[in-house]
Amino acid sequence: RSNKKNMFLSTTTGGPVNPNKDTEVTPPPNDGISSLSWSPKANFLVSGSWDNQIRCWEVQRGGYGPTTTFTSQPKAAIDLGAPILTTTWSNDGTKAVSYTHLRAHETGRNLVC
């Protein structure tokens, strides 16, 4: 048994504790995340990952102060056929753009959330 402490999740006699108030998006990517981007105009989060998917969630806040909670609602996903290297948003915050390396050149695709 390892004596290493998990820096993101600790336990007490009352069960797991989340000191950073982290929230998991559902469903999560199936492989490592290479890029995360928040929309500049709305509560949308996009991720690019090594499972070839760009995904979009709407993140909603519930409550304020010590009882603040966040939930995520999946909005869109696209499989680009190759690992996603980066994601960003259009200036108006309505489209997410991702880039991957396909056949030795960059290709961009838009995702509307």
15-44 tens-digit pLDDT: 566 677 677 888 888 899 999 999 998 899
CA distances in angstroms from 88 to 5, 32, 106, 108, listed in the order given: 34, 18, 14, 11
The residue with greater pLDDT, 32 or 109, is: 32
Backbone angles phi, psi at 21, to 5 degrees: 60, 35
For residues 89-113, give the mean pLDDT. 68
Its pTM surpasses 0.85: no
Asked if residue 82 lies in contact with residue 100, where contact means CB atoms within 8 angstroms, the answer is yes
For residues 54-81, give the mean pLDDT. 86
CA distances in angstroms from 97 to 2, 12, 77, listed in the order given: 42, 42, 12
